[in-house]
Structure 1
């Protein structure tokens, strides 16, 4: 990611400053960071770059499986369950190579930039060649993702994932061999050779309690703790996983993770769907975050997680597009509130501001970018500007911009995406990937050949 030292001034017609929408805000930007914020600037200063509409901090997509983008529409045919969907997913994973994964991820991350996403958390577990043999570079697949994000112009936290078994006490299946390093020590040795760079952080992930033996969970957690890196885990996404965990270990997945030191302030549980009251208290009390992925959770018929209860117990919320049934963080924010309304038959569980915080500052924090996701001096100059004159957003008063963003706007309303003070998307067009739809179509077709 190129960061220019040349000072720039941006003038925001309307800016969401975390608690309210402020008209006329000028930003001084240098070395990829916001150096000063000047509210009450009614007209653009001389030489300023003008951002018409509502400008938010850049959005953070806290949970992504880039290759799942190739499944869009294909997995919508007919009926089934999470487990039948998984078989189709495995077939797609089998066809990935470092080159095809790079091409697909570059296009997917460009699609994210068009949707206003400036940082992605990539939950990465396709490590080796089919059959489990390492590539000459054991991190060839991860490096393909890091390079794809750089070319698409967005930040990435590569959550290198330990995936060692097919179920409790079961070896990997044929499909899963390319996910597995054999044991957690081998996983740690491999991912320790990954290097951070300007646009990239390296974190860790436990795929799930069924995919990492209990006696190896501490190795993964310790690796992340030593590096002060984010640690993510799929948690209680399916009742079948809960039942199997109870049968084998006599406790819930959340309790098993707590027992082995996985929960804590740098950890994020993804989905957290089927939890007991004790689980909720355990997660919240430990400061463990919750990443909700509503469009995937409803697409796979997983259920509605207790996001409000988790937050009330102290679990910070973030959002992810996960399987990329759609890539739209505004839809994820809206869906979290609307799902809770359907579940409780009452309205107003989160303010629009709280939902935007989940999509911005709290999402970035979950990915280890604590200095991103706000419009304030010292923060990274990552911005997303929404049109306020589209058929979806026209009409409401600008001071209601947060409500308009969450409850009316979509990714199609993103006009500008700025990362490190530079346009990645300008006037709705990607500045680095000229034909994003074409790149997506070509990359997906290559996996069907």
Structure 2
């Protein structure tokens, strides 16, 4: 049992002063505003930890490798060739080393939970490992070591494009039919049964990689847990879906599957007005990945339209080209400002943009990852981010000004202390295991790069 005291803390009811928080059995056992700090570990500012709801951990190792332009136009589709080459070069222990480094950086930035959209399943030649969940086990081992909460989302991937009968050779490490996927999912659930802090969902990769019938089958295998799917990320996908089906991707998905609050639609960048309204009405969370979407040139999501319809959103680090909780929220708002040539787009008049972005990402991330309500409340998982009140961006900040200044002026450098599931994992801005994890990462990445 640990007692913490915060000069100010963001509770579900709003900001409160002099808050005592008791941690026990990885959960919050008590929250008492107006308390004395006597007998407590003292800190200035507490926020609930955020979720990165969409991540491909292995891609952290290729950050920066696709920033050299070859002849001709460069796009998501040319980036994908670099990604496939990198994915084909990885061994399981290297995947674990890269995932651990990512988890360290997530925690240091204020993310305490990650949703791993995990599609690197098979050996380099495309054959199953002796344990079909070998690669998932490596991602889970990294999470257990670093302390980050993990929702594993094994990916179903059966086709190379709309109407295709099978996958391409470069996709062999993640390809499979429904029977193969069911075996993988069973093995992943057995892994989760012996692991603490691990949730399992399902993930039909996209409308390009799975038919609607297969998407429905995968969702049924999810047994009531989270269902994540890429949709409408690229304009080429919209064009291909229209040519194949006569419908836009999000409408085609909604017409063919029972999309509800269990679902997270990743990106959904290119929707029309009717699709925005239907997504909001379904209760699904939209998983936005602003830094990756900017890096890949995907386009700009219309956040005001989703919010006006009552829809929910969360944020993810996706390709993990750069890691930061505040940074994702900042990029989300800045993309809206650039598109609309306006300021403070996400919030209503008189409101705090930082608070609106933070509250939306907190609620949406928790819902999308199937981990229960998030927040500094009794019974919630003890995921807490402590900010440094002496950071230049936060001097004198009180209440919602803390969020405005952290997101738009402070960022990761203002994160001082992090507790993940009640365990202190970051102190003085550094993960307690950073040095050992970074040493393994450097060794593993050097070996991978030597093969490329």
- For Structure 1 versus Structure 2, the TM-score category normalised by the shorter chain is over 0.9
Cα distance between partner residues in 2 of 1:424 and 1:341: 35
Q: Indicate the residue corresponding to 2:160 in structure 1.
A: 166
| Residue 3 of structure 1: aligned partner | none
Aligned-pair distance for 1:395? 4.9
1:69-88 equivalent positions in 2, closer than 5 A: 69-78=60-69, 80-88=74-82
The answer (yes or no) to whether the contact 2:149–2:421 under 8 Å persists in 1 is: no
Provide the residue aligned with 2:119 in structure 1. 125
Query: Residues 370 and 180 of structure 1: is their aligned pair in 2 closer, same or farther, counting only changes over 3 Å?
Result: same
CA drift of 1:240 comes to 0.8
What do residues 381-423 of structure 1 show as CA deviations (whole Å, max 9, x unaligned)?
1101111222333354466212122222211221111012220
Q: Does 1:68 find its partner at 2:68? A: no
Deviation at 1:315, TM superposition (A): 2.3
Aligned mates of 1:399, 1:262 — CA distance in 2: 38
Does structure 2 conserve the Cα–Cα contact (< 8 Å) formed by 1:292 and 1:307? no
Tell me, yes or no, if structure 1 residue 44 matches structure 2 residue 37. Answer: yes
d(CA) in 1 for partners of 2:83, 2:258 = 27
What's 2:308 paired with?
Answer: 312
Aligned position for 1:352? 354
Structure 1 counterpart SS, 2:410? coil
**TM-score, structure 2 length as denominator?**
0.92
Separation in structure 1 between the aligned mates of residue 96 and residue 234 of structure 2, nearest angstrom: 30
| Residue 275 (structure 1) aligned to one of 271, 283, 300 | 271
- Structure 2 residue 214 is the aligned partner of structure 1 residue 216: yes
Q: Find the residue that maps to 2:391 and give its secondary structure.
A: coil
Determine the structure 2 residue equivalent to 1:4.
none
- What secondary structure is seen at the aligned counterpart in 2 of 1:404? helix
Contact 2:383 2:421 in 1 (8 A): yes
Displacement of 1:433 in angstroms is 3.8
Q: Given the two structures, how large is their TM-score scaled by the length of structure 1? A: 0.93
Q: Are the counterparts in 2 of residues 98 and 141 from structure 1 also a CA contact under 8 Å? A: yes
Which residue of the partner structure matches residue 100 of structure 2? 106
Partner of 2:366: 364
The correspondence of residues 154-193 of structure 1 with structure 2, limited to 5 A, is: 154-170=148-164, 171-181=166-176, 183-193=177-187
Shift of 1:264: 1.2
Deviations 1:343-367 (A, max 9, x none): 1222222332221123323212210
Distance 1:393 1:439 in 2: 34
1:61/1:320 contact within 8 Å kept: yes
Q: Determine the structure 2 residue equivalent to 1:8.
A: 2
Unaligned runs of 5+ in 2: 348-352
2: CA distance between counterparts of 1:286 and 1:322? 23
- For the residue of structure 2 that corresponds to 1:179, the secondary structure is coil
Pick from 297, 306, 317: which aligns with 1:301? 297
Shift of 1:274: 0.7
Shift of 1:8: 1.4
Asked if the contact 1:166/1:173 (under 8 Å) is kept, the reply is yes
State how far apart, in whole Å, the 2-side matches of 1:374 and 1:208 are. 31
Deviation at 1:444, TM superposition (A): 2.2
Give 1:262 shift. Answer: 4.8
Report the CA distance shift for 1:259/1:186 in structure 2 as closer, same or farther (over 3 A).
farther
Question: Corresponding residue for 2:109?
Answer: 115
Give 1:18 deviation, angstroms. 4.0
Distance in 1 between residues matched to 2:88 and 2:207, nearest whole Å = 23
Long gaps (5+) in structure 1: 1-6
Q: CA RMSD in A?
A: 1.7
Structure 2 counterpart SS, 1:96: coil
The alpha-carbon distance between structure 1 residues 398 and 260, as it changes in their structure 2 partners (threshold 3 A), is: closer
Residue 273 of structure 1, CA deviation: 0.4
CA deviation string 1:75-127 (max 9, x = no partner):
22337211111110001100112111111111111111111211000000111
